[in-house]
Amino acid sequence: MPAHIINGKEIVADIREQLKVEIDRLADKGIRPGLAVVLVGDDAASAVYVRSKAKACEQVGIHSEVYRLPAETSQEELLGLIAKLNADSNINGILVQLPLPKHINEDAVIDAISIDKDVDGFHPISVGNLVIGKPSFLPCTPAGVIEIIRRTGVSMVGKRAVVIGRSNIVGKPMSLLLLREHATVTVCHSRTPDMAALCREADILVVAIGKAKFVNRSFVKPGAVVIDVGINRLEDGKLAGDVDFDDVVDVAGHITPVPGVVGPMTITMLLRNTVEAAKQAHGVREA
Ligand code: GUN
């Protein structure tokens, strides 16, 4: 039987609708959540992501400011902007789009973002809190994946989950969030031998390796939940995920198409984190 194809539009619309209600209630208290997005240089994909983030803010009623800085911006200039945004009470969340140009030290920039405004969840303190299970802003892509899995109705408790990829943005936090949901988690990466055999044990398979159509049906246990975080541009200009969708769709139980699910969910989690940051800044428990 072909897999249930996860409907990103439906999930995203549902969560954004809930967020709008919350934002309206905050407006009644005179509070408007604000997000600053900083883009350095002219990476085409990053420019598209930044535009999508600003548009999503506008749709739900979050104030957004986009700072587009030239590629030759110095680290000091960027740190100066972050210091200004840290001190700006209209801004509750700060996101510096990665990757940054090579002459800028990404760690120094992430470290400079106020922990209260770290809506990307990349600050070392946020990461540490995630590791030890304390409240923190969760990185948006893995948080979105958890929400997607929840909405399949498949319980994560006691399930075998395999994550392909060990990046700081996706693979590592993904494994921690699955562990928090009581899954038994394995992380595979470029040095893992016989990856397909390991993946075939997975009830939940999350793929974030950045290689088009890397995962075929030989990696997939019948009925598994398969979440594709990848987005790759093929030579013919089309987009493809890290999973060979057509090959896997009649083996998996639930599968995400690319594009349309994980990308919009990532942005939705950014909106959610920004609303949460605004509530915390104003001491609001429930909006
Ligand atoms: N580049 C790719 N994904 C992300 C993300 O989630 N946040 C930021 N800041 N940069 C990214």
The ranges assigned to domains in the chain are 30-115, 140-263
Q: For residue 106, how many other CB atoms are within 10 A of its CB?
A: 16
CATH topology of domain 140-263: Rossmann fold (3.40.50)
DSSP 67: E
Is the beta carbon of 127 within 6 A of some atom in ligand 1? no
pLDDT band at 78 (very low <50, low <70, confident <90, very high): very high
Q: Pull the structure tokens for residue 263.
A: 């990308």
Which among 120, 203, 242, 244 is annotated as catalytic?
120
Based on the residue annotation, tell me whether 28 is a catalytic residue of this protein.
no
Structure confidence at residue 1 (pLDDT): 82
Q: Are 56 and 271 in contact (CB under 8 A)?
A: yes
For 30-115, give the CATH class: alpha beta
Structure confidence at residue 287 (pLDDT): 67
* Residue 161 pLDDT greater than 90, yes or no: yes
> What atom of ligand 1 comes closest to residue 120's alpha carbon?
7
Q: Span 170-191, mean pLDDT?
A: 98
> What atom of ligand 1 comes closest to residue 96's alpha carbon?
9
Q: Pull the structure tokens for residue 65.
A: 């400011």
274 CA distance to ligand 1 middle (Å):
15
Q: What percent of the chain has pLDDT over 90?
A: 98
Q: Do domains 30-115 and 140-263 have the same CATH topology?
A: yes
Based on the residue annotation, tell me whether 53 is a catalytic residue of this protein.
yes
Based on the residue annotation, tell me whether 102 is a catalytic residue of this protein.
no
Distance CA 199, CA 163 (A): 8
* Residue 154 pLDDT greater than 70, yes or no: yes
38 CA distance to ligand 1 middle (Å):
11
Distance CA 119, CA 281 (A): 13
Cα angle, residue 152 at apex, residues 146 and 155 outer, rounded to 5°: 70
The structure's pTM equals 0.98
pLDDT band at 93 (very low <50, low <70, confident <90, very high): very high
Mean pLDDT score across all residues of the chain: 97
Atom 1 of ligand 1: nearest residue by CA position: 98
* Residue 218 pLDDT greater than 80, yes or no: yes
Site to probe by mutation for ligand 1, drawn from 35, 39, 48, 49 as the one with most ligand atoms within 8 Å of Cβ, is 49
Q: Span 80-104, mean pLDDT?
A: 98
Is the beta carbon of 242 within 6 A of some atom in ligand 1? no
Q: Are 149 and 204 in contact (CB under 8 A)?
A: yes
